[in-house]
Amino acid sequence: MQRSFAFLLTSVVGFCLGSSFPSNINIGGLFPTGSHEYEVFRFALSRHQDIPKLVPQVDMVDTGSSFAMTYAFCSQFSKGVYAIIGLYDKKTMNMLMSFCGALHVCFVTPSFPIDTNNQFVIQLRPELQDALIDLVEHYKWNKFVYMYSSDSGLTVLQKILDTAAEKTWKVTSVNLDSLTEAAFLKVVQDLDTKKDYRIILDCELERLNSILNLIAAQRKNLKTYHFVLANLGFMDLNLTEFRKGGANVTGFQLMNYTNPLVSSTIQDWLEFDSKDLKVPKRRLKYTGALTYDGVTVMATAFQNLRKQRIDISRRGNAGECLANPPAPWGQGIDIQRALQQVQFEGITGHVQFNEKGHRTNFTVDVMELRPTGPKKVGYWNEKYVNTATYSPLNETQLLNKTYIVTTILESPYVMLKKNHEAFEGNDKYEGYCVELAAEIARHAGYNYTLEIVGDGKYGAKDAETHMWNGMVGELVYGKADIAVAPLTITLVREQVIDFTKPFMSLGISIMIKKPTKSKPGVFSFLDPLAYEIWMCIVFAYIGVSVVLFLVSRFSPYEWHGDDAEEGSAEGQGHGQNQPSSPQPGQSPSQQAQSQQQQQQPEHTNEFGIFNSLWFSLGAFMQQGCDISPRSLSGRIVGGVWWFFTLIIISSYTANLAAFLTVERMVSPIESAEDLAKQTEIAYGTLDAGSTKEFFKRSKIAVFEKMWSYMKSADPSVFVKTTDEGVARVRKSKGKYAYLLESTMNEYIEQRKPCDTMKVGGNLDSKGYGVATPKGSPLRNAVNLAVLKLNEQGLLDKLKNKWWYDKGECGSGGGDSKDKTSALSLSNVAGVFYILIGGLGLAMLVALVEFCYKSRLESQRMKQIIDAAMLSSTLSRISGTGSGGENGRVVAHDFPKASQTLPCMSQAAGMGLSTTGM
C-alpha cells in the first residue's frame, strides 16, 4: 500500500513539473558588433521555432575587453538565461572559463578551441592539431616553419613541438601577433634566403587572408613554396593570386558543399531577409556554420530536457553573478549534460561531444589548390586518408597551356646566339638541348618557354638545410615543369623527381691539357727498340763472336795449310827454288834446325777474335763477309745468328717509319689509377653535380682515395661551372685534371684552341634524361617523345651536328698537323753523326796501326823507327808486298832470310818486300 502511494505521488509531481517546463527558453548571446556569426545566429533562430522556443538575449560587445565581457555576462545571467552562445578572445577566455565553472552556466562557442577541463564550455570547432600532424607526416616534412596566432596556436604549437622531439623534426615557430607588417615581410624574406619553403599558417580567417595577400604582393615565385593552412575554411579564403602563381597550398574544409543539407541551408541563408543588415549578404563561412549548428545543439538539448521532464527553473540567489562565495546554479549540471549528449548531422558534419565538451568523431576534408581551383585530395577522421589521383592530361589540355622548361647554359647543349639581343624568348638560344626541347614539344603537343636556372647548378641536396638547388630544386619546389638539360639520372634525384628514358649515354672521364709534342731526337732511330733490347743485342753480338772464335779454334776443319802459297812466293823472290845459303856464324845444329823449320808447312785459322767479330757484325748489318765457317759447328753458330738478325732487323724496320715521321705526345697520366697515385697534378669536379656525388658515394678504393684528396685539397679543386673547370685545365700548364662527363669532354676537345684531351676510359656508365616533377602528367608524354626521337635516329643526328660537324680541330680531335710528313734533317741527324764519327775513328785506328806495326818492325830488325817507316811506306806504295790478312792466325810464323837488307824481309804479317827499296 505504501509503495503504491509513493508511486502515485511521484507521478503527480512529475506531471506537474512537466506541465511547468517553460515554453520559452531565454538564451544569451555575446557577439561583436556587425559580426557574421550574429547574423547567422539570427538566421538560425528563425529556423528553429519548435517548442520550447529559444528567445535571444543578445549583447553586442567588444570580445577583447574583459570589463565589457564581464558586464555583459553578468547582465545576461541576472536576466535568467539558461545558456549563452557567443565568441571569446584570448584576453577574455580565461574570465569566461572562470564564470562558467563557478556559476555552472554553459557557454556554447564557435571560437577557436582551447585545452580546458571546464565541462561547461561546449566547443563547436574541432581541434586540428592531430589532423595537422598527420598531414605533415603524409608529406614527409622534416623541416618546416609554423606561423601562428597566439589565440589558438599555442596549443597546436605545443603538440607539434612534442611530436617534433619524437620524430627529430626541425620546426621554426613564428608568432604573428608580435610582428608588424614590415617585420612580417622581413621574416618572409629571411625564409626565402634560407630556402625554408614549407610553411604552416595557423590563424583566423581575416588575419589569414591579409597574410596571404601580403605574400602574394611580394611577387615571389610562389611555385617554390608549399603552404599548409591550419584553418577549417579553405573555401572561404581568397587564393586567386596563389592559383595564378602556381603555388602549392593545402588546407582543411569543414563544410561539405556537395551535401544536400549544406547546399539547401546556404540557399536559405542567401534568401534570408533582414532589415537590420547594414552590409551586403555574405557567403556563409565556416564560423557562421558552426554558430548555426550551435543553435541547433541548444534547441535539441532543451527539447530533450522537456521530453525528460527535467526541472530547470531558476530559484534562490542564482541571479547574483558576483556573489561571494559564488552560488552555482543547481540545474546547470542538467543542461550541461543535455548539451554534451546531443548528436546529429549538421552543416559542419557529424556533431558530437566528449565529456570535456570538445567535438569528437568529426571529419574534415583535405583540400589542395589546383590550377582549376580548390580540389579535395583526402579527408581526416582519426587518421589521414589520401584520395588524390592525377588524371592524365589529354592533347587538348596540353595545347592550352604553356610550360616552363628549365635548362642551363652549357655548350653545346644550350648557348646564346651571337646576335641574341635581336631575338626574344626561345629564339635567343641554340644548341643540342634547344633543338631537343623543340622536338619533344612538337611530338608531345604543348607550348613551352625556356628559362635558364637561376643559380647555374644542375641540382644537389644541401647537407645542412636538406634543400635541393639547381634545376632539380626548381622541379621539386614547382618553379619549372620540365628540365631539358645534360642532367644525369641518379638515385638521389630519382627519389624526388621523375626521369624519362636516357637520351644520351655517357660516363665520367678525365680531361687534361694536351702535352707538348716531342720532336724526334738526334738518336730517334734507336726508339723502335727499347733500351733493354739494344743492350741484349750488344751482349748477343759479343757472345756469338766469342762462341764462333772458340768453336773455330777447337774444330780441326777450320785449320788449313799454306805450303803451296809460300813456295810460289819464295820462288818468285829468289829466282829459283833452291835452299838458302847458310848464315855466317851459325853452328851446324842451328843450321839443321832452321832448315827443318823452313820445310814444315804453315797452318792458319781465319776466325781469330777480330774476324769473328767482323763476321757477326757483317751478318747483323745484312752485308755478309768475305770469310765463312767451314766446320759444321761454325755453320750452326752462323745460321742461328742469321735467323736472330733476320727477326730483329725486320721488327726494327717495321717500327722505324712511325718513330721517325710522327711527332708523339707523352701523356703524364693515362687512367684514374695514375691520378690517385700521384700528388703533383691536382684534380677536381664540378661542385653540386652528379660527378661529385659519384665520388662521394663510391665504395671503390681508387675513387675513395680520390674523393679523400679532393675534399681536403687546399685551394679547393671544385669549380662552379664547366667553363671554369676547362679554363683551369688550360691555365694550369698540365698541373690540373678536370673530371667531367665524357660527352662534354669530347666536345671541348673539338673546340679551339684544341689544347685539351681525354685520357683513359670512362669511370662509370650513366645517361642524361629529361626530368619532370614527381607525379607530373607530362612524364608519359615526354618519355614517349624521347623514345620516338631515338628510334628515328634524330638523337644521333643532333649529336653529330653539334659535336663533330661543327668541330674546329679536325676529325682527329686535335691539331690537323698530326699527319705523317716528310723526314727532315733532324729526324736522321744521328745517322750522319755516326757516319762522320766512324770515318774519323777509322782514320785514327789506321794511324795507330801504322805506328804500332812500324815500332814493332824497328825493334825486331834493330833499325831506327824512321828507316822502318820509310821502308814500310815504299812497300805500301809499290803494292808488291804480301802477307797475312789482319787477324789471321799463322802457325810457326818465323821470319825468313832476306836476300838484301835485313829490314826488307818478308816477315809474315808485316807486309814488307824488297821491291821498292
Report d(CA 745, CA 871) in Å as an integer. Answer: 81
Phi and psi for 319 in degrees, rounded to 5? -85, -5
| pLDDT attached to residue 205 | 85
Report d(CA 738, CA 510) in Å as an integer. Answer: 6
| pLDDT attached to residue 649 | 86
Worst-scoring range by mean pLDDT, 195-204, 246-255, 881-890?
881-890
| pLDDT attached to residue 109 | 93
CA distances from 89 to 19, 111, 321 (A): 40, 8, 21
Cα torsion through 254, 260, 262, 268, rounded to 10: 170
- The mean pLDDT of 883-911, rounded to a whole number, is 40
> Does residue 5 carry a pLDDT above 80?
no
Using 50, 70 and 90 to split pLDDT, how confident is the model at 195? confident
Residues 102, 107, 108: CA angle, nearest 5 degrees: 160
Which residues are CB-contacts of 288 (< 8 A; sequence separation ≥ 6)?
A: 36, 37, 39, 40, 269
Task: Work out the number of other CB atoms within 10 angstroms of the CB of residue 438.
Answer: 15
> Does residue 483 carry a pLDDT above 80?
yes
Using 50, 70 and 90 to split pLDDT, how confident is the model at 863? low
Residue with cell 552560488: 327
> Does residue 669 carry a pLDDT above 80?
yes
Using 50, 70 and 90 to split pLDDT, how confident is the model at 31? very high
Nearest to 344 by CA among 379, 304, 384, 306: 304
Longest dimension (CA), the chain: 200
- The mean pLDDT of 706-725, rounded to a whole number, is 89
Query: What's the chain's average pLDDT?
Result: 79
> Does residue 599 carry a pLDDT above 80?
no
| pLDDT attached to residue 905 | 36
DSSP structure class, residue 758 = E
Worst-scoring range by mean pLDDT, 320-324, 540-544, 735-739?
320-324
Worst-scoring range by mean pLDDT, 68-77, 594-603, 768-777?
594-603
Using 50, 70 and 90 to split pLDDT, how confident is the model at 289? very high
Residues 202 and 109: beta-carbon distance below 8 Å: no
Q: Which amino acid is at 519?
A: K
> Does residue 316 carry a pLDDT above 60?
no
The pTM of the full predicted model, rounded to 2 decimals, is 0.50
**pLDDT tens column, 742-759:** 888 888 888 888 888 888
Residues 358 and 155: beta-carbon distance below 8 Å: no
Using 50, 70 and 90 to split pLDDT, how confident is the model at 433? very high
> Does residue 916 carry a pLDDT above 50?
no
Edge-to-edge, what's the strand order for the sheet holding 603-605?
Answer: 559-561, 603-605, 889-890
β-sheet bridge partners, residue 250: 228, 368
Euclidean distance between the first and the last CA atom of the chain, given in angstroms as a whole number: 193
**What is the chain's alpha carbon radius of gyration, rounded to the nearest angstrom?**
56
For residue 385 the three cell numbers come to: 586518408
Cα torsion through 782, 787, 792, 798, rounded to 10: 70
- The mean pLDDT of 571-595, rounded to a whole number, is 50
- 119-129 burial, b for 16+ CB within 10 Å, e for fewer? bbbbbbbbbbb
> Does residue 825 carry a pLDDT above 60?
yes
| pLDDT attached to residue 750 | 84
For residue 727 the three cell numbers come to: 679554363
> Does residue 894 carry a pLDDT above 50?
no
**pLDDT tens column, 81-97:** 889 999 988 888 888 88
| pLDDT attached to residue 257 | 86
> Does residue 846 carry a pLDDT above 50?
yes
**pLDDT tens column, 249-272:** 999 999 988 888 988 888 888 888
Report d(CA 850, CA 844) in Å as an integer. Answer: 10
Element (H, E) at 560: strand 559-561
- The mean pLDDT of 554-580, rounded to a whole number, is 54
Residue with cell 635541393: 468
Could you list the beta-strand ranges (E) of 603-691.
603-605, 682-684
For residue 153 the three cell numbers come to: 596556436
- The mean pLDDT of 65-76, rounded to a whole number, is 88
Length of the chain: 917
> Does residue 502 carry a pLDDT above 70?
yes
**pLDDT tens column, 199-231:** 999 988 888 888 888 888 776 667 778 899 998
| pLDDT attached to residue 841 | 85
| pLDDT attached to residue 597 | 54
Nearest to 292 by CA among 624, 614, 48: 48
| pLDDT attached to residue 561 | 65
Residues 573, 576, 581: CA angle, nearest 5 degrees: 85
| pLDDT attached to residue 108 | 93
Share of the chain above pLDDT 90, in %: 18
| pLDDT attached to residue 351 | 92
Helices (H), ranges, 733-800? 742-749, 778-791, 794-800
| pLDDT attached to residue 577 | 42
Share of the chain above pLDDT 70, in %: 79
For residue 121 the three cell numbers come to: 564550455
**pLDDT tens column, 449-472:** 999 998 888 888 887 877 888 999
For residue 547 the three cell numbers come to: 762462341
Give the three-state DSSP class for 105. Answer: coil
For residue 123 the three cell numbers come to: 566547443
Handedness of CA 730, 731, 737, 740 (dihedral sign): negative
